[in-house]
């Protein structure tokens, strides 16, 4: 007996040995006959004991409850785990399937006994010393540091990707109690008693047996018995929310008004994001705060996608892992200048470069109404500004006087968007919350309303408008829905693009001047999407920012390479190569959110405006030129093509700033000095 037990212990010491049959008497021996002192924990299907080998090595012995035991459950777990070897899945070391004849009192308390054959079913696993995830997650202000939480999230995603795509297994009982944490804080998925295995061509099945844990069960599985990978994705989303926030509460998707649901989800995301940012910034000597904040934002966004009520809108485990790995690669590739390098650069710039001349254009017609939006008419030397309470002011930037004032009839909603259509001698207006309407005006020989129409049945604001450069089209974005309007068809909506997420809001739209069939949209989900007018779904999704993306612009360098510049509330602007769809440059970290990005149409200059009123000028080859700070914020930026000027609007005034197409020697020298 001792010799046989010694052989078993020797095999259990081998990390590469396949799972083996282990006799019941051997397991009784190493657990002190399943003593109370050896007990590690108890679950819905059995008790886990600590098994100690003579060498001191420990294995976990799971003894399944005899009265609740279903042979199918035991066989499932053994067969599924036999061939699985992955760092994020608990490793099966052995199993026991024996039967013993025992005298059982029947009925209980009668003093009468009958002999029955009792099945003994046990599973043996690698011993995980740090207990389950449930013991580690708590309110975000306590417990694990962020980098540990992030590694655990990635570990769970990696394990689920392996189970779904390599093993074709659906777990069906994913919860913190079934995720074990080892001594290195590596997450390991455990407890496969409820799992189902799919054939190569299967994607879902229907079952009447809906076992699982409330709070983690997907609605389609709980209500209709639909079993698919997306059921696990829902459970994983709940777990990620719990890891980040310490609880599994999240906003309700099922609200009467989709705008309210989207706002609720956005508010939840911002609250979690801000909470972690404050915690990280208050941690002494904490490194890479911005990196961690980006990860928090990305993870909470992914988690909310995972718990979407519609299974079709949830990502796959592979999708999630690619998003997280993409963020990690982007952060690793970006190495910002040190504080000393930045100071050296700015000192060289500030001592050699004159401040640009500012000219203020005062719009005296609506002095008390806050300015929200602006646009340039390049043929008439006009600037149109949209204001609160339905006011539009058009002024002549050469004469520096107001041309006309328009008050939209019976409307007090803010003018969130205004665009000139010079070839038609029109301008269009998109109103904010409380209206949800688009107004069309002609401006020759005088300003006159042509038509108006509501974009959606709810009184939701228009987030963005974009005019096609050659076709009779206008794009609008409202509550995340992008629609294409044809003015030659009496402003008929000719296309409605697919909304990828229930709570997505597409914040700005821009047509590609080199390919007018293509346009870009920025979103509160931290992505930039590239679309084609011929398809209802985006062609590409650019993912790199860690907060909502506010603005976007296409531009081309003098070597005819096309790029995209985006600005975000994460205080960074990013440059994307349109050929490779990769981020090639990051500007920031600025002092506040980037709310405007503009490429000058005739000069190789990029202009970045931040919410605090600072304007940054960069060359299109990504050399820093100069910066200017004004009071009152920067509500809008645009360019005057023939004059080499930039127009900036804040809440109370308009400014024009002359920019020069130059690369001063002092700047080049400063860059070379920093590089060396």
Which residues are tagged catalytic?
173
Report how far apart, in Å, the C-alpha atoms of 16 and of each of 127, 325, 544 are.
15, 29, 40
Closest CA to 530 of 571, 482, 572: 482
Considering Cα of 92, then 98, then 99, then 100, what sign does the dihedral take?
negative
Q: Are 576 and 633 in contact (CB under 8 A)?
A: no
Report how far apart, in Å, the C-alpha atoms of 549 and of each of 236, 263, 627 are.
26, 16, 22
Report how far apart, in Å, the C-alpha atoms of 327 and of each of 333, 495, 526, 546 are.
10, 33, 11, 9
Alpha-carbon gap, residue 628 to 653, rounded angstroms: 16
DSSP code per residue over 409-458: TT--S-EEEEEEEGGGTEEEEEE-TTT-EEEEEE-SSS-EEEEEEESSSS
Is 63 annotated in a binding site? The answer is yes
Q: What is the dihedral of CA 146, 149, 154, 156, to 10 degrees?
A: -170
Alpha-carbon gap, residue 660 to 392, rounded angstroms: 31
Alpha-carbon gap, residue 647 to 324, rounded angstroms: 39
* Residues in contact with 86: Cβ distance below 8 Å, sequence separation at least 6, in sequence order: 158, 159, 162
Considering Cα of 365, then 371, then 372, then 373, what sign does the dihedral take?
positive
Q: In what order do the strands lie in the sheet with 358-361?
A: 358-361, 654-658, 645-649, 636-640
Alpha helices in 362-407 (DSSP H): none
Position of tokens 């799971």? 62
DSSP state of 313: G
Closest CA to 656 of 395, 361, 354, 373: 361
3-class secondary-structure state, position 161: helix
How many residues are recorded in the chain? 676
Residue ranges of the annotated binding site are: 63
Residue ranges of the annotated binding site for ATP are: 63
């Amino acid at each position: 007996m001792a010799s046989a037990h010694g052989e078993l212990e020797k095999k259990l010491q081998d990390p590469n040995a396949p799972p083996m049959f282990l006799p019941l008497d051997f397991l009784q021996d190493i657990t002190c006959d399943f003593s109370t002192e050896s007990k590690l924990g108890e679950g819905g299907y059995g008790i886990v004991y600590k098994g100690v080998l003579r060498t001191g090595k420990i294995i976990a012995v799971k003894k399944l409850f005899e009265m609740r035991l279903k042979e199918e459950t035991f066989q499932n777990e053994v067969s599924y785990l036999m061939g699985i070897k992955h760092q994020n899945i608990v490793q099966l070391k052995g199993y026991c399937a024996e039967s013993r004849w025992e005298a059982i009192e029947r009925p209980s308390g009668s003093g009468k006994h009958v002999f029955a054959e009792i099945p003994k079913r046990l599973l043996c696993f690698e011993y995980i010393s740090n207990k389950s995830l449930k013991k580690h997650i708590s309110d975000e202000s306590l417990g694990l540091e962020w980098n540990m939480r992030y590694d655990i999230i990635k570990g769970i995603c990696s394990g689920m990707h392996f189970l779904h795509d390599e093993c074709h297994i659906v777990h069906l009982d994913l919860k913190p109690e079934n995720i074990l944490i080892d001594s290195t804080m590596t997450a390991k998925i455990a407890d496969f008693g409820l799992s189902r295995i799919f054939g190569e061509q299967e994607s879902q099945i229907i079952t009447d047996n809906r076992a699982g844990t409330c709070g983690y069960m997907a609605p389609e599985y709980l209500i209709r018995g639909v079993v698919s990978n997306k059921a696990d994705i829902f459970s994983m989303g709940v777990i990620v929310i719990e890891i980040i926030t310490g609880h599994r509460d999240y906003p309700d998707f099922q609200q009467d008004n989709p705008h309210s649901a989207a706002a609720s989800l956005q508010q939840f995301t911002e609250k979690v994001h801000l909470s972690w940012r404050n915690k990280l910034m208050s941690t002494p000597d904490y490194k890479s705060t911005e990196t961690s904040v980006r990860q928090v934002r990305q993870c909470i966004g992914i988690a909310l996608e995972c718990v979407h009520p519609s299974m079709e809108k949830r990502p796959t485990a592979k999708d999630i892992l690619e998003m997280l790995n993409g963020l990690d690669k982007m952060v690793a590739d970006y190495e910002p200048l040190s504080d000393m390098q930045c100071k050296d650069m700015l000192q060289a710039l500030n001592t050699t470069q004159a401040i640009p001349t500012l000219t203020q254009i005062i719009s005296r017609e609506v002095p008390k109404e806050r300015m929200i939006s602006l646009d340039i008419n390049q043929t008439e030397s006009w600037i149109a500004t949209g204001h609160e309470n339905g006011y539009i002011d058009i002024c002549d930037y050469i004469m520096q006087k107001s041309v006309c004032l328009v008050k939209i009839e019976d409307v007090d909603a803010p003018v969130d968007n205004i665009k000139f259509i010079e070839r038609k001698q029109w301008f269009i207006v998109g109103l904010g919350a409380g209206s949800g309407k688009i107004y069309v005006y002609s401006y020759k020989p005088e300003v006159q309303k042509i038509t108006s129409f509501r974009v959606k049945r709810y009184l939701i604001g228009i987030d963005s408008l974009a005019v096609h450069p050659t076709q009779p089209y206008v794009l609008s974005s409202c509550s995340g829905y992008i629609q294409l309007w044809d003015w030659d068809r009496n402003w008929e909506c000719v296309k409605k693009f697919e909304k990828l997420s229930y709570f997505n809001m597409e914040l700005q739209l821009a047509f590609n001047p080199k390919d007018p069939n293509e346009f870009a949209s920025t979103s509160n989900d931290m992505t930039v999407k590239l679309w084609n007018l011929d398809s209802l779904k985006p062609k590409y999704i650019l993912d790199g920012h860690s907060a909502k993306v506010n603005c976007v612009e296409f531009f081309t360098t003098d070597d005819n390479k096309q790029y995209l510049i985006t600005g975000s509330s994460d205080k960074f602007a990013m440059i994307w190569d349109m050929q490779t769809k990769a981020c090639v440059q990051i500007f920031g970290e600025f002092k506040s959110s980037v709310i405007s990005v503009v490429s000058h149409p005739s000069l190789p200059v990029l202009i970045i405006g931040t919410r605090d009123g600072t304007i940054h000028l960069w060359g299109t080859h990504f050399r820093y030129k100069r910066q200017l700070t004004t009071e009152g914020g920067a509500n809008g930026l645009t360019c005057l093509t023939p004059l080499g000027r930039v127009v900036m609007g804040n809440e109370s005034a308009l400014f024009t700033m002359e920019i020069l197409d130059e690369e001063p020697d002092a700047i080049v020298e400063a860059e070379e000095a920093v590089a060396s």
